[in-house]
Amino acid sequence: MMQTSVHKSEKMPWRKTKRWWFWLMLFLMMGTLMFIFYYSTTEVWPLSRSSESCNNLTTAYDFFPAYPHPYGFIMDEPHRCRQERPFLVLMIPVAPHNRGARDVIRMTWGKNTTVQGHVVSYYFLLGLSEEGDGAEVLEEQLLDESWRHHDILQSDFMDSYKNLTIKTMVMFEWLNSHCPNTSYAMKIDADIFLNVHNLVLMLMTAPRHLFMTGCVAWGSAVLRDHDSKWYMPVSAFPESIYPPYALGLGYVFSMDLPIKILEASLHIKAIYLEDVYVGLCMRQLGVTLTDPPHSGLFRVSTPFFAGSCYWSTVITSMLQDSDQLRDVWEIYQTQLLNGC
Ligand SMILES: *[C@@H]1O[C@H](CO)[C@@H](O)[C@H](O)[C@H]1NC(C)=O
Ligand SMILES: *[C@@H]1O[C@H](CO)[C@@H](O)[C@H](O)[C@H]1NC(C)=O
Ligand SMILES: *[C@@H]1O[C@H](CO)[C@@H](O)[C@H](O)[C@H]1NC(C)=O
Ligand SMILES: *[C@@H]1O[C@H](CO)[C@@H](O)[C@H](O)[C@H]1NC(C)=O
C-alpha cells in the first residue's frame, strides 16, 4: 500500500512532464513542417517576383503591357556608360518611392566600382510614379537624388508590377544605345544580395557572345490558378510549359544580346511576366540559356541556417527585403575577414 502510493506520487509529475513534452514536440514539428512548406513553395514557384503587392489581373490589358512603344527618358545619364566603358553594368529595377532600397545598394554591392581590375557600374531603373498625393514632391526629390548620385534612369511609363516587362525592354533599349564598349550586363532586383566579386570572377571566363545565365527555369508549368500572382490565362499563353527562362531576380547576359532580344520582341506579343517574356525572345532567337558553373551560385532563397562562408561563396541570394541587405552585408564582410 505504502509502496504503491509512494510510487504513484513519484510517477504523476513524470506523466505531466511527458504530456508537456508531447505538446511541445508536436508544436515544434508543426512549425518545422510549415517552415519547410513555405520554403519549398518559394523554391518550386520562384518565377518572377516583385516587391509590389499582389495584384488583381482581370482585364486582357493586364496581361499584355503596352510594348513596343517609343518610351523616352525623363532622367537619364546619356554619356556615363560610353565614357566609363564598364566591363559589367548592373541594372536595378526599383519603384520611384523606394529611396531606401537605392541607398542600401549604394552602400553595399553598388559601392565598388573596380572589381578584379574590371570597371563595374550600376543604374536604377524607374518608371513614373502614380499621379496623386506627393507625386510632384517625389519627382523633385528624385531630381535631387539623381543630381547627387548620377545613377537614376527614369522612363515615362507608369511604374507598376504589371508594367515590369516594359521596364525590362526599356532596359535593353538603353543598354543597346548607351553602352557600346561593355561586355556584360545584369538585371538584378533590389531585394537581392549580390556578390560582385564572384560574379566578375565567373564572367572573366564566360562566353562573350549569345550568353545568358542565372537561375534558369527549365520547363516551368504555366500557372492557371486565378489566385496565383503569376496567373496566366490560356488566351494570353496557350502552351502549358514555359520555354526556358532565367528568373527575373537576377540574370546576366553578354552585350550582344540586347539588340537581338529587341528585334525578337517585334515578333512576340509582350506578356506581363518579364522574365518569361525574355525567355520567349530567347526561344525566338534560338539561343540556349546557360546554367551557371555550379548550382550554388544563384540562390532563389537564403537558407535559414546559412553556412559560415555562405555569403562569400554565392553570387546572388534572395532576401526578405532590401533592409535585410544592410545586416547581411556586415556578415559578409566578417566572413571575408575570417578568411572565407
Ligand atoms: C478583381 O477585380 C474585379 C473587377 O475589377 C472584381 O470583380 C473582383 O472581385 C476582384 N477580385 C479580387 C480577388 O479582388
Ligand atoms: C572593394 O574591393 C576591394 C578589393 O577588391 C575589397 O577589398 C573591398 O572589400 C571591396 N569593398 C566592398 C564594399 O565590397
Ligand atoms: C503601364 O504603362 C502604360 C504607359 O504609361 C500605362 O498607360 C498603363 O496604365 C500602365 N499599366 C499599368 C497596369 O500600370
Ligand atoms: C568600342 O565600341 C565601338 C563600337 O561598337 C567599337 O568600334 C570599338 O572597337 C570599341 N572599342 C573597344 C576598345 O572595345
Split into its structural domains, the chain has a count of: 1
Q: Is residue 24 pLDDT above 90, yes or no? A: no
What pLDDT is stored for residue 168 in this prediction?
A: 98
266 lies in some domain: yes
200 lies in some domain: yes
What is the 214 CA–ligand 4 centroid distance (Å)?
Answer: 27
29 lies in some domain: no
Cβ(113) to ligand 2 under 6 A? no
Q: Whose CA is nearest to atom 8 of ligand 3?
A: 158
Give the pLDDT mean for 205-212: 98
What pLDDT is stored for residue 60 in this prediction?
A: 57
Cβ(163) to ligand 3 under 6 A? yes
Q: Whose CA is nearest to atom 8 of ligand 2?
A: 112
Q: How far apart (Å, rounded) are the C-alpha atoms in residues 267 and 327?
A: 44
Q: Whose CA is nearest to atom 3 of ligand 1?
A: 58
Q: Whose CA is nearest to atom 13 of ligand 3?
A: 162
Percent of the chain with pLDDT over 90: 72
What pLDDT is stored for residue 273 in this prediction?
A: 94
What is the 112 CA–ligand 2 centroid distance (Å)?
Answer: 6
Q: Is residue 4 pLDDT above 80, yes or no? A: no
Q: Is residue 54 pLDDT above 50, yes or no? A: no
Q: Are 230 and 49 in contact (CB under 8 A)?
A: no
Cβ(68) to ligand 4 under 6 A? no
Q: Is residue 58 pLDDT above 70, yes or no? A: no
Q: Please, what is the end-to-end C-alpha distance for the chain in angstroms?
A: 67
Give the pLDDT mean for 142-160: 97
206 lies in some domain: yes
Could you read off the pLDDT of 80-132 as tens digits, one per residue? 999 999 999 999 999 999 999 999 999 999 999 999 999 999 999 999 998 87
For 117, 172, 178, 281, 293, the CA distances from 92, given in Å and listed in that order, are: 22, 12, 16, 21, 24
Q: Is residue 49 pLDDT above 50, yes or no? A: no
Give the pLDDT mean for 285-307: 93
Percent of the chain with pLDDT over 70: 87
What is the 336 CA–ligand 2 centroid distance (Å)?
Answer: 10
98 compared with 9, residue with greater pLDDT:
98
What is the 82 CA–ligand 2 centroid distance (Å)?
Answer: 24
Q: Is residue 203 pLDDT above 90, yes or no? A: yes
1 compared with 138, residue with greater pLDDT:
138
Q: Is residue 36 pLDDT above 90, yes or no? A: no
22 lies in some domain: no
Highest-scoring range by mean pLDDT, 61-75, 250-264, 295-309: 250-264
Cβ(177) to ligand 4 under 6 A? no
Give the pLDDT mean for 136-148: 95
Q: Is residue 56 pLDDT above 50, yes or no? A: no
What pLDDT is stored for residue 307 in this prediction?
A: 87
What pLDDT is stored for residue 17 in this prediction?
A: 66
What is the 192 CA–ligand 2 centroid distance (Å)?
Answer: 18
Q: Whose CA is nearest to atom 14 of ligand 1?
A: 56
Range of the domain at 197: 73-292
What pLDDT is stored for residue 134 in this prediction?
A: 84
What is the 148 CA–ligand 4 centroid distance (Å)?
Answer: 29
Environment class of 223 (CB within 10 Å of its CB; exposed 0-12, middle 13-18, buried 19+): middle
Helix axes 323-337, 99-107, angle to 10 degrees: 10
Contacts of 114 by beta carbon, 8 Å cutoff, 6+ apart: 120
Q: Is residue 209 pLDDT above 60, yes or no? A: yes
What is the 284 CA–ligand 4 centroid distance (Å)?
Answer: 28
What pLDDT is stored for residue 13 in this prediction?
A: 53
Query: Given ligand 3 and candidates 128, 154, 158, 167, which is best to mutate, with the most ligand atoms within 8 Å of its CB?
Result: 158
Query: Given ligand 2 and candidates 109, 112, 194, 335, which is best to mutate, with the most ligand atoms within 8 Å of its CB?
Result: 112
List residues near ligand 1 (CB under 6 A).
56, 58
Residue 7 — pLDDT band, cuts 50, 70, 90? very low
29 compared with 241, residue with greater pLDDT:
241
Q: Which atom of ligand 3 is nearest to the CA of 128?
A: 5
319 lies in some domain: no
307 lies in some domain: no
For 43, 194, 199, the CA distances from 314, given in Å and listed in that order, are: 17, 8, 9
The CATH number of residue 172's host domain is 3.90.550.50
Sheet holding 298-299, edge to edge: 192-194, 316-318, 298-299
What is the 228 CA–ligand 1 centroid distance (Å)?
Answer: 14
Residue 20 — pLDDT band, cuts 50, 70, 90? confident
**Mean pLDDT across the chain:** 88
101 lies in some domain: yes
